[in-house]
Amino acid sequence: MLPDSLIRALLLPLLAVSMAAIACLPARGASGDQALGAYLAGECVACHLPSGRQVGGIPAIVGWPQSAFIAVMQAYAARERDHALMQAVAAKFTADELAALAAYFGSLKPP
């Protein structure tokens, strides 16, 4: 059997590295990357104005809560909401990309 001092000497650095690695993981439900969202939003803002103004039947998405934005986009991707263009657009985004878009649009202030 190894002496306690040797066990501590071997395990403490391992524990410190493990804790540091865990601290770097994103928290469950953490906000997406707003910069990535701004980059990805180019296609969205062709119809959904970044000013937050609603045009015709196209809803404004500026200032939406992130969870609502993600839920709506997931519903389009799963074809639970009816709109062929939005179904195609929503289906191409990954979960991280949807979180980024939600963070970006959620950060914008409606008029």
The pLDDT tens digits for 16-58 are 434 333 333 343 344 799 999 999 999 999 999 989 999 899 9
15/13 Cα distance (integer angstroms): 5
Domain boundaries of the chain, sorted by first residue = 31-107
Of 63 and 11, the one with more pLDDT: 63
pTM metric for this prediction: 0.71
Q: Which CATH architecture has domain 31-107?
A: Orthogonal Bundle (1.10)
Single-letter code of the amino acid located at 58: I
Six-digit token string for 61: 């998405």
Of 4 and 33, the one with more pLDDT: 33
Element (DSSP H or E) covering residue 16:
helix 4-24
